[in-house]
């Protein structure tokens, strides 16, 4: 009898663009894709940090290059996407949080968080999708969202609003782009230990609260996201689009 064959998790021959790639989840995503065989373009705002990352990738024998990019510059982002084509995989890990009680939110913080987390993410995803459609290529577009796209959180009204919005445009784009073989999904992590979350994790009371909320009893590490990135980027998830992969240790289950 003929047995089914597991679709490949390998990404050999694929080219990936990862934004927010100089640290944290973005760096982990880029490493995961490179380990799976993809050629990876690392994008982030700090050129010096990017140079260090690319050198480290090449030391490991990975195929990698870097491009300085602030995705809030919509025109520049579209130009970079056009220059870097072909792109088979997008992982957008650029994001921002400004936490405060809803009644204390100031307009400047609202605008800054919304501009990066929603507007810039939208037009980055659009730019890659346009290139894929123009080239009649299939692809996988992944936005790093958050468990807070599925629940509310104290002092996180603006952040939650932006991540709920990402889930919304992800679903709509998935519907529109599905006939072209382009998949659009999100990954929704819980609290992940990164340089940007250091202040939270330096507070023992906050860590204790997080561990109580996360049903597996521990906070997340960058490595917890890496397998999810490879899954959504690869043929292993060929029928997965318009959905969220929650990597939250059970936070949203309770």
pLDDT in tens, the chain (254 residues): 999 999 999 999 999 999 999 999 999 999 999 999 999 999 999 888 999 999 999 999 999 999 999 999 999 999 999 999 999 999 999 999 998 999 999 999 999 999 999 999 999 999 999 999 999 999 999 999 999 999 998 899 999 999 999 999 999 999 999 999 999 999 999 999 988 788 788 888 888 989 999 999 999 999 999 999 999 999 999 999 999 999 999 999 98
Q: Are 34 and 233 in contact (CB under 8 A)?
A: no
Q: Which of 57, 159, 191, 231 is catalytic?
A: 159
Neighbours of 75 (CB within 10 A): 8
159 among known catalytic residues: yes
List of domains in the chain = 15-193+222-247 (3.40.50.720)
Instruction: Identify the sign of the CA torsion 55, 57, 58, 64.
Output: negative
The reported pLDDT for the residue numbered 116 is 98
């Amino acid at each position: 009898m003929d047995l089914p064959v597991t679709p490949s998790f390998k990404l050999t021959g694929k080219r990936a663009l990862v934004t927010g790639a100089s640290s944290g989840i973005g760096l982990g995503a880029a490493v995961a894709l490179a380990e799976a065989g993809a050629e990876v373009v690392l994008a982030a705002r700090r050129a010096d940090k990017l140079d260090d990352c690319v050198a480290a990738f090449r030391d490991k024998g990975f195929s990698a290059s870097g491009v300085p990019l602030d995705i809030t510059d919509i025109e520049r982002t579209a130009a970079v996407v056009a220059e870097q084509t072909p792109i088979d995989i997008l992982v957008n890990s650029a994001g921002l949080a400004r936490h405060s009680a809803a009644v204390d939110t100031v307009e400047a913080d609202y605008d800054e968080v919304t501009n990066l987390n929603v507007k810039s993410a939208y037009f980055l995803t659009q730019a890659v999708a346009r290139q894929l459609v123009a080239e009649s290529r299939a692809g996988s577009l992944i936005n790093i969202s958050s468990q807070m796209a599925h629940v509310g959180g104290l002092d996180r009204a603006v952040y939650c609003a932006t991540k709920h919005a990402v889930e919304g445009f992800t679903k709509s784009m998935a519907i529109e782009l599905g006939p072209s073989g382009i998949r659009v999904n999100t990954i929704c992590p819980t609290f992940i230990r990164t340089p940007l979350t250091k202040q939270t994790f330096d507070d023992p009371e906050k860590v204790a609260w997080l561990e109580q909320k996360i049903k597996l009893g521990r906070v997340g590490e960058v490595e917890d996201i890496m397998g999810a990135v490879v899954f959504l980027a690869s043929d292993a998830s060929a029928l997965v689009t318009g959905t969220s992969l929650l990597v939250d240790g059970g936070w949203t289950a309770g």
